[in-house]
Structure formats: C-alpha cells, structure tokens
Amino acid sequence: MAGFGGFRPAAFQFLRDLARNNEKTWFEANRDVYEREVRDPMRQLVYQPAKARR
C-alpha cells in the first residue's frame, strides 16, 4: 500500500454523484470507483499515521 497522496478529483465527483443517486443499485454499479477513489486513499490516510507511531 503506497502512502497517502491526497484525494483525486474523481473521489469528490463520486461523492457528488452518490448524493444524487443514493441507491444500492447505483452504488453497486459504481463500487469499483468507490474502492479506487475513496476507500483505498482513506485507508492510506488512516494507516500511514498509525505506522509512523510504531
């Protein structure tokens, strides 16, 4: 897992689209975007400081 490099514009676009399409079917169809643009960078953000404290 690489270090946190910030959120790309696609992450914010995904969140705007999610706000307009807050339905399970839409989310499932866009899960890959969520994982790539939101979930994975968020994990990097959370885990990076935890590793630095060890």
* Residue 1: HSE in the Cβ half-sphere, 13 Å Cα cutoff: 14
Q: How many domains does the chain have?
A: 1
pTM here?
Answer: 0.82
Per-residue pLDDT, 1: 58
Q: Looking at the domain assignment, is residue 43 inside a domain? A: yes
Q: Looking at the domain assignment, is residue 32 inside a domain? A: yes
What's the domain range around 34?
9-53
Per-residue pLDDT, 8: 98
Radius of gyration of the chain (CA): 13
Give the distance, in angstroms, between the CA of residue 30 and the centroid of all CA atoms in the same chain.
12
Which stretches in the chain have pLDDT values below 50?
none
Per-residue pLDDT, 3: 82
Q: Looking at the domain assignment, is residue 4 inside a domain? A: no
